Amino acid sequence: MKIPNKIPRVRVISFTGDGERLVASSSKRSLSSRDVEEIFERMSDGEVETWIRETLRRGHLSPWEHSVYTFEVVCSRVCSHQLVRHRVASYTQLSQRYNERLLEPRDPGYWLDLSERVARGDREALEEVGRAFYLGDPDWPEDLIVITASEYARSVARYWELRARGMSKEDARYVLPQAVATKVVATMNAREILHFLGLRMCTHAQTEIRLVAWMLWRELLKIHPRLFRYAGPYCLIDHNQHARDVASLEEILSGEKEIAIERCRELVPREGIRKCILHSLHQFQKYES
């Protein structure tokens, strides 16, 4: 039986349109006595690139805080609980208390039957469970995904049994697993996004939040490439604060520039860092294909 490959989704809703120039002008602001409006209007595209690179080289990242992005993430609650740990941000999440649509129909028998069908290898039943839940890492063994999906359906049956006995929504949901699907709108400035991507694009991050990070990076690269070409796992950010010349993620991955740090924060030695990032990238590309 082929397992449905359900992955999270990310889309940017709103952003500071002149964010790149704003970051660069704010960086130059710290050294120039001219009015910021004059700096902003007179800055050429080449200067924008120069001053963005200067923020990274000096670790002067406060100018990045002036460019703001709002995006939606569709994921599991396992993933969303990791997302909201990034505290310099605003979040609005789909209420599990007031929205039971994903858990319908309200018939416990329907969900118990679904659980048994999944256990027997029924693909349609598995896809129905996947409507309400994330089925774990697609690299998990097939039998493990089937077992967990069957248990997810059984948990919904228990949920509706508790609701039928008069238990409130907020208390009945104690029996639901964190794999249940959710939606979150998040607003972050570029500096916090740089921190988020630094932690979550890393191979050592949990699979689902890592996919979210790579997806967000890909979308932001389309919007503000002069900023986010320098975003990536923290090994890249740390490199740019130690190297003589700032490098983009593409330049590191292609081997055009060599890593300057002895080891990353996860203690991967210099010679293994590029391979580690490539592994994370290839996993992302595999799930997207």
pLDDT given at position 37:
83
pLDDT given at position 3:
63
**10-53 per-position pLDDT tens digit:** 999 999 999 999 999 999 988 777 888 888 899 999 999 999 99
3-state secondary structure string across 176-244: CCCCEEEEEEEEEEHHHHHHHHHHHCCCCCCHHHHHHHHHHHHHHHHHCHHHHCCCCCHHHHHHHCCCC
pLDDT given at position 226:
97
pLDDT given at position 287:
83
- Is the pLDDT at 249 greater than 90, yes or no? yes
pLDDT given at position 10:
97
Confidence of residue 2 (pLDDT cuts 50, 70, 90): low
**185-239 per-position pLDDT tens digit:** 999 999 999 999 999 999 999 999 999 999 999 999 999 999 999 999 999 999 9
- Under DSSP, the state recorded for 76 is E
At position 288, the amino acid (one-letter code) is E
- Is the pLDDT at 289 greater than 80, yes or no? no
**138-186 per-position pLDDT tens digit:** 788 999 999 999 999 999 999 999 999 999 999 999 999 999 999 999 9
| Cβ-proximal residues to 98 (8 Å cutoff; 6+ apart), any chain | 169
What's the whole-number mean pLDDT along residues 262-280?
97
Give the 3-state secondary structure of residue 259: coil
220 burial level (CB within 10 Å; 0-12, 13-18, 19+): buried
3-state secondary structure string across 6-67: CCCEEEEEEECCCHHHHHHHHHHHCCCCCCHHHHHHHCCHHHHHHHHHHHHHHCCCHHHHHC
Q: Which residues pair with 74 in a beta bridge?
A: 9, 183
**Tokens in use for 61?**
């990242």
Confidence of residue 4 (pLDDT cuts 50, 70, 90): low
Its pTM stands at 0.95
Label residues 106-128 b or e (16+ Cβ within 10 Å = b).
eebebbbebbebbbeeeeebbeb
**Tokens in use for 276?**
């580690």
45 burial level (CB within 10 Å; 0-12, 13-18, 19+): exposed
- State how beta strands 9-15 and 89-93 pair: unpaired
Q: What are the catalytic residues?
A: 200
What's the whole-number mean pLDDT along residues 122-144?
90
- Under DSSP, the state recorded for 166 is T
Q: What is the mean pLDDT of the chain?
A: 94
194 burial level (CB within 10 Å; 0-12, 13-18, 19+): buried
Q: For residue 164, what is the enclosing H or E element?
A: helix 142-164
At position 151, the amino acid (one-letter code) is E
Residue 264: phi and psi, rounded to 5, are: -85, 180
**170-180 per-position pLDDT tens digit:** 999 999 999 99
CB–CB of 230/52 below 8 Å? yes
Angstrom distance (rounded) from CA 118 to CA 151: 9
